Structure 1
Amino acid sequence: MAVAALVYFFAAAIVSTYLVELFRGWWLWTRSLENDRSREEKRTLPNRSKPSTKRLSIVIPAYNEEKRLPSVLKSTLEYLVKRRDAEGSSFTYEIVVVDDGSTDQTAVKAWLCAKEMGAEDAVRVFQLQRNSGKGAAVRTGCLNAEGDLVLMMDADGATELAHGLEALEFSLCTRIIKKSKGKGEASKATSKVRGGQGELRSKKRGGSRGLIQEAGGYAHLSKQPLACFGSRAHLEQEDIVTKRKRIRNFAMHGFHLLVFLVVGGSIRDTQCGFKLFTREAAFALFQHQRLKRWCFDVEIINIAKRLKVPILEVQVKWEEKEGSKLKFTHVFHMALELLTVFVCYNLKLWRIKTAAL
């Protein structure tokens, strides 16, 4: 009996010591995330105090993308040039590529592509000293963006840019028009949303100029705290999902459940790498972002809810690309990040400056 009690005692001591060290490591990690956020906020403070210099900023986080990035940059620049020709020289733009500590020639390829396209002034490249995660790269890009509107898109080009961007802009502008016209005109604005795809197609020849002017122009848009997320939720029943391995679909549904428990179900697809922010929303949200890797999107939703920044969700055309860097083992890290968001914000370990807007 005494021997058994001694064994239980030592086992309990070992387990408790392990748990204490585990908690200590988690605590130090959350503090380091907060310290990094604070430093980034201070470093980019001058950007938030100066007016925008571009109409549109496209932020592309990239890690070891020397093969896929050039073609995506080229097609993006071609679209932007066509849109400038349609809307006039007042439509100015920039592409902000953030190299997340790549070990290949990602940054070099970005510069060479910009030079080849004669767009050196339109492409800016930031290089993080070490691989910090997609969230860190997106935060750096969005806090350094100079556009009235800030679009975040993945380097694989999985989302069709022309359709996706104009769909998000349409939804964002319609929301602002509806708000500005008040309840008396709400039914008209609602009919615009319901007939959105047809009206959107009719505007493509002239870009989004007419709709944006109706919403008050780019300068007015930039001051509205509003975000619009691309969504692939409508693809869940299609072959692209049904052909996936069972273990991957199981992980996906498990992740969705955790997301629902943390931020609710207002946004069906939190992880689509195609999101549009007004300048006001981009600075307000990303200056509070702590997570650096996979679940920063969920944290942004959590911050938006606390700051009362509306988030719209719009279907986009999306095609799965080879070369995904997400592995099954990352699911455990994502679960830890979601738990961290829930604990740190609800216990006010991570605070939100509600006067940011």
Structure 2
Amino acid sequence: MGVSIIGTGSYIPENQIKNKAFAKQEFLNSDGSSFQQTNNIIIEKFKGITGIEERRYVSEDLNTSDIAFLASERAILDSGIDKEDLDYIIFAHNFGDVSAGESQGDTLPSLASRVKHLLKIRNPNCVAYDMLFGCPGWIEGVIQANAFIKSGIAKRCLVIGAETLSRIVDPYDRDSMIYADGAGAVVLEASDANTGIMSHISASYTLKEAHYLFYGKSYNSSGNETKYIKMLGRKIYEFAVTHVPNAMVECLRKSGFDVAQVRKILIHQANEKMDEAIVSRFYGHFNMEVPEHIMPMTIDKLGNSSVATIPTLLDQILKGKVKNHHLHTGDVIIFASVGAGMNINAIVYKF
């Protein structure tokens, strides 16, 4: 038995926030001191490293569970199934619903329960739960759905990745320019053994790496006790380019496919330079140059929306919205991600 994606959906917020929107922002160092460079130089360097030109933010009337519902509704419609036939709803996020103007995450009830409620699913045997696994959460949710279906516990699963990171960033931290909002979802069901998920791998590194991403106070220390997403960028980069390529190689080995059969690599849209380095090192294991058009990227226009980057990218490709990138029956692709935990995972998938 195989497990395949039979429907995809995404929600891309309409609010486009271009880099120039940060031109008058007051950015500070972690110790609260001012930068010597102008914001124009900071923004130029930022774009050169991350590849980000703009990002999307949700409107004030929407929350993470709302955009997850919209993406899920589209995925279910795309799959052609009856929503009442879903056995599991697995919702990958990290911060819950953070309302506009607020800083506290709301996870009661779970966001998966909220999506099930919004979908108006009556079936009590459709189990809804949240997945907290950092940016690799959506892939991990797919891996769990794969296990449920192969074991016979479930026939169909909805796996969602959604986040509104724009509401948990420190405006004084230049890293705030990285983060974005978005939602993506897929429906999975049993398929022919020669298609779908062919292999997967996951790992958590916590001995030294657990706090590379963390919640910390604003760089503006003027009595503000609110905590925001913070990261040790250099540490994360070094970790990712070391461990993610190795995981991808091992996952491909487990699948039985040759590297020459890989048509696309859909990697978490975290940082353009980092993703390019990961893919370069992956092919370096096989003494190969990186093939042209192997790694579709949307980070330039959509930013880093954490768990949403891969499912939104997949949906955009399948809907013909990513230039020079298409997927066809028989194509072998690799999904790969890295994020808070520190966690990594990968899937080899055949269409």
Higher helix share: 1
Larger Rg: 1
Check whether TM > 0.5. no
| TM-score of the superposed pair, with normalisation by structure 2 | 0.30
Which protein has the bigger strand share?
2
